Structure 1
């Protein structure tokens, strides 16, 4: 997961806009199964490890520039026993691609993810640390209710 100090620095440098996180920054070392799509976790949603594997496969596709995790407003820095800890809460997964939404829905298998589908996204309106979007590519967001 992204280090607390790195996260704090990004917030400070970007007017408190949450960064889009790489897959490793969100999933690596994250054992909080309800940290993304919590309403679907006990209703058939795959594990974090299974999701991470699937999104890494998507990221390797030739028509995908990048994949990032968008954070929910519930993401926070909490204090426990005098120590600060980052509590990441994922809201959605953003895929930069030249695919159309319905094609991405099929490839990611939204039913398997217990996702509500794929929508177009404008990450610059809400997030920081957005990688370059190549010409003729768009950002599509895999969403959960």
Structure 2
């Protein structure tokens, strides 16, 4: 999926996206073994491996009360340092009808700092609007 992710991120409209773009969780996690690409400060301190994060967010995405799961990229996502690998990510956004309190339970064991309502840095320019009845909850790590 890295090639598909890179193709998506090559869109010139995303180059000046502020806040940074968000991508489908499967594009970000599928084949991603770069443990430093999400919550690097928690890697080695309780945060599970990328494969487990992928499995957990795939499970969440299949819930009937979840419309979609996106990964919000870090402000440095397009730095040449990351040209060959997966871009760094900042948070995960869940479009859901569940409450933040309920979604907080889904994060047990991920060493996340919490679940907040809305976009922590503003809505990414490429993020679709949630359907009627759904809201955006964001999973944050320091």
Q: Normalising by the residue count of structure 2, what TM-score does the alignment of the two structures yield?
A: 0.86
C-alpha spacing 1:3/1:118, structure 2 compared with 1 (3 Å): closer
The answer to whether residue 119 in structure 2 is matched with residue 115 in structure 1 is no
Q: In structure 2, the residue corresponding to 1:119 is in which secondary structure? A: strand
5+ unaligned residues in a row in structure 1: which ranges?
none
Is it true that 1:33 corresponds to 2:32 in the alignment?
no
**What is the CA-CA distance between 1:77 and the residue it aligns to?**
4.1
| Distance apart, 1:20 and its partner CA | 1.1
What secondary structure sits across from 2:127 in the alignment?
coil
Gaps spanning 5+ residues in structure 2: where?
A: none
3-state SS of the aligned residue for 2:139? strand
Bigger helix fraction: 1
Q: Cα 1:113–1:133, aligned 2, differ >3 Å: closer, same or farther?
A: same
**Aligned counterpart, 1:140:** 137
- The 8 Å contact of residues 72 and 90 in structure 1, kept in 2 or not, is answered as yes
Over 6 Å off, 4+ runs: none
Task: Give the C-alpha shift of residue 100 in structure 1.
Answer: 0.8
CA distance in 1, matches of 2:61, 2:86: 25
* Structure with more of its chain in strand, by fraction: 1
Alpha carbon RMSD of aligned pairs, Å? 2.1
Structure 2 CA distance for partners of 1:3 and 1:142, relative to 1, 3 Å = closer
- Residue 13 (structure 1) aligns with: 13
Larger radius of gyration: 1
Structure 1 CA distance for aligned equivalents of residues 81 and 53 of structure 2: 28
Distance 1:58-1:87 versus aligned 2 partners, 3 A rule: closer
Match of 1:92 in 2: 91
Structure 1 residues 79 and 107: alpha-carbon distance in aligned structure 2, compared to 1, 3 A threshold: closer
Q: Distance in 2 between matches of 1:90 and 1:139?
A: 17
- Count of residues in correspondence between the two structures: 138
For the residue of structure 2 that corresponds to 1:55, the secondary structure is: helix
